[in-house]
Amino acid sequence: MADQDSQRAALEAERERILGQMRELGASIDMDDDGELDYDENFADSALVTAERGEVDAIVGSLKETLAEIDAALAKVEAGTYDTCSNCGNKIGAARLEAMPMATLCMECASAAK
């Protein structure tokens, strides 16, 4: 139970860190939202704004993907399957989960998937 609590705490801390980054970027944290940010359309250098908008939108998209992975990992913690490979059903090693808390595959399956 303590191990499950520490796994949940680590995932929730990472989730809060990601949400903080999204807030700093001015992004919506609603996962159903398309993630579009509000930009000043009257900005003098619209080419610069367009370039920055593309970069920020890409970052926000990546952060939303990470949030979805964290939420899936939290669901696995609740189901008691957090350390179980979603491909073969074997245990995902503790070292792998420490390095990649959202890992869904054991090292063998992850290596085979590449």
- What does the DSSP 8-state code read for residue 36? P
Burial of 64 (0-12, 13-18, 19+ CB in 10 A): buried
Buried b (16+ CB within 10 A) or exposed e, 25-39: eebbeeeeeebeeee
Side-chain half-sphere of 63: how many Cα atoms within 13 Å? Answer: 26
DSSP-derived 3-state class of residue 32: coil
Distance between CA atoms of residues 78 and 97, nearest Å = 16
Distance between CA atoms of residues 25 and 100, nearest Å = 24
pLDDT in tens, the chain (114 residues): 557 788 899 999 999 999 999 999 887 666 555 545 454 555 556 666 666 778 888 999 999 999 999 999 999 999 999 999 999 999 999 999 988 899 999 999 999 987
Q: Are 111 and 92 in contact (CB under 8 A)?
A: no
Other residues' Cβ atoms within 10 Å of the Cβ of residue 19: 15
pTM for the full predicted model:
0.75
